[in-house]
Amino acid sequence: MVVGQNNKNQQEESVYNLIPRTEVHVSKASGYVSKFHQNARESFKEGKSKHRTMGYAEEPVSDPQHFLKKHQNDTKQNDSNRHKDTSPSKDHSQRKPPVPSIRDAPKMGARTEKNFIQTNALDVVMTVPKKPERNIVDDRYGDKFPIDPSGLTPKYILKKNFGEVPVYIKSRRADMEKAKQEYQVYVSDYFRRGAMREMDNNERQIILDGLKKQWEDVHHEYQTLSVIIDTIPKRLYKERLEHQMKLLEKDIDLLEKHQIIYIAD
């Protein structure tokens, strides 16, 4: 039996704390243990050795019988001896021939049938001469640079097709001319079926001159109006003249803008 507080968080004194209560023991469930637990521990320890970084707590002393010998700690020489091939089965036939001794006499009497003078002369005759470089000097100190890529020499004006109309522009013009002719034929057929004719240039010029003469007459009447428009008839007359001038200007602009005009008979 345990006599204690009813609540662990309760700090004040209470009579309920004097009531004896039975302590309840909660059994903890066992955790999951993998069957590969031991293998994981062994694989984790692989490649690791003790005392690799911090060293031994107490440095072990070597046996006095095994004292340090000459070149025992020389790592460079040990590596060279380790990689040196001392096996008797090595093929010595692949080695280069030995260097001749100073006492060995050279081979005498060796001659060749090649005519070096004639060969050199033919090489000189058959060799293509090298073209001199096209350079330009731009200052008094002798600094030079190639003149061809510098842009100082005419390059594009020497082409065969320089100044000619490109092919695509010629084809575009031909297509436009063909389309214009086809449209002209279509319009002629259309107006021929509708009993319409094309106005010739003489008739067009006569009508244009008549419209301009009429506009000058109306404009002269407009200029003769009084400065002060104080009555309704004067205002109406002025508006009528302005309306006539606008209509005449519209007709004149139509005739001057369009060279081809079709009219119905």
CA pair distance 134, 146, nearest whole angstrom: 6
First-to-last CA distance in the chain?
133
Tell me whether residue 146 is in a domain.
Answer: yes
Do residue 190 and residue 201 come from a single domain? Answer: no
Q: In the chain, what percentage of residues exceed pLDDT 70?
A: 86
Using pLDDT thresholds of 50, 70 and 90, give the confidence band for residue 211: very high
Nearest CA to 207 out of 258, 151, 135, 171 is that of: 258
Q: Is the pLDDT of residue 53 over 90?
A: no
Q: What is the pLDDT of residue 71?
A: 82
Whether residues 185 and 206 fall in one domain: no
Among 162, 194, 226, the domain-final residue is: 194
> Is residue 121 in a domain?
no
In a domain, 181, yes or no: yes
Residue 216 three-state SS: helix
Token pair belonging to 210: 């008549």
d(CA 110, CA 90): 37
**Same domain (yes/no): 201, 247:** yes
pLDDT higher at 55 or 101: 101
Residues 227 and 205 in one domain: yes
220 and 171 fall within a common domain: no
- pLDDT tens readout for residues 90-99: 555 568 888 8
205 and 183 together in one domain: no
Number of domains the chain contains? 2
For the cut 80, the answer to whether the pLDDT of residue 86 exceeds it is no
By three-state DSSP, how is residue 263 classified? strand
Residue 247 lies in a domain: yes
Question: Given this model, what pLDDT does residue 258 score?
Answer: 84
Give CA–CA dist 231/237, Å, rounded: 10
Using the predicted structure, report yes or no on whether residue 122 has a pLDDT greater than 70.
yes
* Any domain includes 15: no
- Does the pLDDT of residue 47 top 90, yes or no? no
Domain range holding 203? 197-264
Do 201 and 255 lie in one domain? The reply is yes
Q: Which helix (H) or strand (E) holds 176?
A: helix 167-193
What is the per-residue pLDDT for 171? 95
Indicate if 220 and 189 belong to the same structural domain.
no
**Same domain for 185 and 231?**
no
Indicate the average pLDDT of the chain: 82
Within this chain, do residues 144 and 190 fall inside the same structural domain, yes or no?
yes
- The residue from 194, 218, 243 where one domain ends is 194
Average pLDDT over residues 182-204: 80
Question: Residue 1 — very low, low, confident or very high, per pLDDT cuts 50/70/90?
Answer: very low
Is 208 among the domain residues?
Answer: yes
Q: Which of 176, 194, 212 represents a domain boundary (last residue)?
A: 194
Strand partners, 262: 198
In a domain? residue 227: yes
pLDDT of the residue at 82: 58
Does residue 212 fall inside a structural domain? yes
Are 184 and 205 in a shared domain? no
Q: What is the pTM of this model?
A: 0.30
pLDDT band at 194 (very low <50, low <70, confident <90, very high): low
DSSP 99-131: PPPTTPPPP--------HHHHHHHHHHHSPPPP
CB atoms within 10 A of CB 248: 19
**Do 157 and 178 belong to one domain?**
yes
